Amino acid sequence: MTDLKIEKNVPLDGPRAGKRYTKYPHLHKLLKKMEVGDSIVFPLDNPKQRVQYNREASSFYIIGTTHYKYKMAQRKSSADCNVRFWRVA
């Protein structure tokens, strides 16, 4: 067992550790620019793919609703093989 001791009045120096890395910084840029009524299209791999399995599209929706607190709507078009997201509020 090592000997640990408490030290007092030691200044906190250096940059703050633990800054969270975002996997999709371009999605944050898009969401910051979106205004109410704007929409964006994400292509799907095939017409039967569920939106949840397209990581970029599902991340866009989750970031928009949780981080930015936007009200969003989504519609999937099987004919065009894509999904469209709208910012509604």
Q: Residue 10: pLDDT band by 50, 70, 90 thresholds?
A: confident
Predicted pLDDT at 21: 67
Asked whether residue 68 carries a pLDDT value surpassing 70, the answer given is yes
**Cβ contacts of residue 74 below 8 Å, gap of 6+?**
51, 61, 83, 84, 85, 86
Predicted pLDDT at 61: 95
**Cβ contacts of residue 61 below 8 Å, gap of 6+?**
51, 72, 74, 85
Q: Give the ranges where the chain is alpha helix by DSSP (H).
A: 25-33, 55-62
The token pair that represents 52 in the structure block:
């949840």
Amino acid, res. 1:
M
Q: What is the pTM of this model?
A: 0.72
| Tens of pLDDT, residues 23-66 | 889 999 999 999 999 999 999 888 787 877 888 999 999 999 99
Give me the chain's average pLDDT, please. 86
**Phi, psi of 26, deg, nearest 5:** -70, -30
Asked whether residue 16 carries a pLDDT value surpassing 70, the answer given is no
Q: Give ∠ CA 80-47-27 in degrees, rounded to 5.
A: 70
